[in-house]
Structure 1
Amino acid sequence: MDVTYLSDILKKVSDNSMDVDTALESLKHLPYEDIGYANIDQHRNLRTGEAEVIFGQSKTPEQIAGIVTHMMHENARILVTRASEEAYEAVKEVAPEAVYEKLSKIIMVGKIPVPKEEKGTIAVVTAGTSDIPVAEEAALTAEFFGDKVDRVYDVGVAGIHRLFGKIDQIRSADVIIVIAGMEGALASVVGGLVEVPVIAVPTSVGYGASFGGLAALLSMLNSCANGIGVVNIDNGYGAACLANKIMKR
């Protein structure tokens, strides 16, 4: 961190030559914290409204725990995605209050905020039970960001009457995240039935010709229903981030 830069801003605030809002705007450009194997963006919260999230896949448990340790200096709440149980055990050593959601592979440090009733709802909808791990990554991320989440699972087009039985519940949401593997048709169907933004998440669920989610991805990108945005394969976290930004507007 550039201590001289920070001291200069604090001095300007103290002698009233800079107001607090301008100071916060300036602090958004402070540098990262270099801990050798990672450059932690400690000021992302100032720039974007949310702290940096740790992507746990391919990181060692020791690296994840080390990043959490340094992030705790600046952040009351920390989220780790794609984390293993071994990573959780390492994080618990530095943050005993950490919890691990095994299905979604998410580690959370700090309390999930209680959403305000007037804020609205994000519906997380899956085609099948096999899509729930990605759905839970989306749902827990959205809840971690302070959003109210309504889960509607296993309503895929193979038994479309199940969707119609839940359609009023789905329509009551302000943003809808639709998660589907195989041919990914559910996003297009839902998109044609609702008037709110739909975020489609293809999953890698399916037999060989699904090509690890590529078939669902292409189906969603080629949807004839309007108002659908598509994120990457299995990217529940990315869908929740987009939904949260929509909700903030």
Structure 2
Amino acid sequence: MRELLDAVADGSLSPAEAEAELKGYVTGDAGRFDAAREHRRGIPEAILAEGKSPEQVVELAETALETTDRALLTRLSDRQIASLESAIGESFPDATVERRSDAALIETPDRERPSLSATIGIVTAGTVDQAVADEAELVCRDAGATIDRVDDVGVAALDRTLDQADRFREADVLIVAAGREGALPTVIAGLVDTPVIGLPVSSGYGYGGDGEAALYGMLQSCTVMSAVNVDAGFVAGGQATLIARTVDSARDRSD
């Protein structure tokens, strides 16, 4: 305790960093940021930008960077992105920003991104599924996994799915994003001995649209696979990361 107080007094530790050390989270006007979640759960807290003002998003991102040297954000609007880039450029000028669709990963130079000896395959049925898959991919990249991305292999032209079967089999875990009737994860799960995480996407129209049919189809799959909620890219990426980390640990022990 005294060491923390001395560090705050001499300026080598900010009050936010000290609060994160003591409580595991930091409280600000925009809410609480769980700085200890990665150590406790294996997956960092992501800042869900949807429903927040640009000022709240900026405050939470700056808190994340100050306490963990990185900020992972999802569902960003154009206005929020503009505010974030401007503010981070001033407060953390040396930070790097990696954007994928409406998700972003910001890192300070002090962060050393981990490296996992594991490959996560991320597969999309069509172009409309890519933004949700991008969110999942950014979570996996943050964890240091190798990513093998395969896009636009939906079952409407099954040959393009079968052409990639060997590539799917090489991954340690697969995230398969699909809308409409959500058939692609089921088909792929029937071809591989790799864990498959189905990611239903809110594409499609009419009865069962907005991802409902895709989710029901994945839940009713007769092949062994799991499924997350509609558009839950962060959750799919988190699940795949936990599997990849287990694979990495097993390979370390075997070496």
- Distance in 1, matches of 2:114 and 2:24, equals 31
Question: Percent identity over the alignment?
Answer: 37
Quote the Cα distance in structure 1 between the aligned partners of 2:212 and 2:130.
18
- Could you say what secondary structure the match of 1:210 adopts? coil
Q: Identify the match of residue 203 of structure 1 among 172, 176, 201.
A: 201
1:8 Cα deviation after fit: 7.7
Give the whole-Å Cα distance in 1 for the aligned partners of 2:44 and 2:137: 18
Return the letter of the residue paired with 1:168. Answer: D
Q: Are the counterparts in 2 of residues 204 and 210 from structure 1 also a CA contact under 8 Å?
A: no
CA distance in 1, matches of 2:177, 2:241: 16
- Using the TM superposition, give the Cα deviation of residue 30 of structure 1 relative to its aligned residue in structure 2, in angstroms: 2.5
Correspondent of 1:186 among 184, 205, 217: 184
Range with greater deviation from structure 2 (104-113 or 59-68): 104-113
Instruction: State how many pairs are aligned.
Output: 224
| Uncovered stretches (5+) of structure 2, i.e. residues with no partner | 5-19, 90-94, 247-255
Which segments of 5 or more consecutive residues in structure 1 lack a partner in the other structure? 1-6, 11-26
Name the TM-score, length of structure 2 as normaliser. Answer: 0.81
The counterpart of 1:39, out of the listed 32, 39, 42, is 32
Contact 1:88/1:100 (8 A) holds in 2: no
After the TM superposition, which parts of structure 1 deviate over 3 Å for at least 4 consecutive aligned residues?
111-116
Q: Which residue in 2 is equivalent to 1:62?
A: 55
1:107-144: CA deviation from partner (whole Å, max 9, x where unpaired): 2211783745xx12111111112111111111122112
1:69 counterpart letter in structure 2: E
Instruction: Tell me how far apart the structure 2 counterparts of residues 76 and 120 of structure 1 sit (CA, whole Å).
Output: 24
In 1, Cα distance between the equivalents of 2:124 and 2:220? 19
Secondary structure at the counterpart of residue 73 of structure 2: strand
* 1:16 alignment partner in structure 2: none
State the Cα deviation string for residues 187-245 of structure 1 (Å, max 9, x = none).
1111111001000001011121233101110000000001x111010111110100000
TM-score normalised by the chain length of structure 1: 0.83
CA–CA distance in 2 between the matches of 1:238 and 1:98? 24
Aligned to 2:232: 235
CA distance in 2, matches of 1:56, 1:230: 24
CA RMSD of aligned residues (A): 2.3
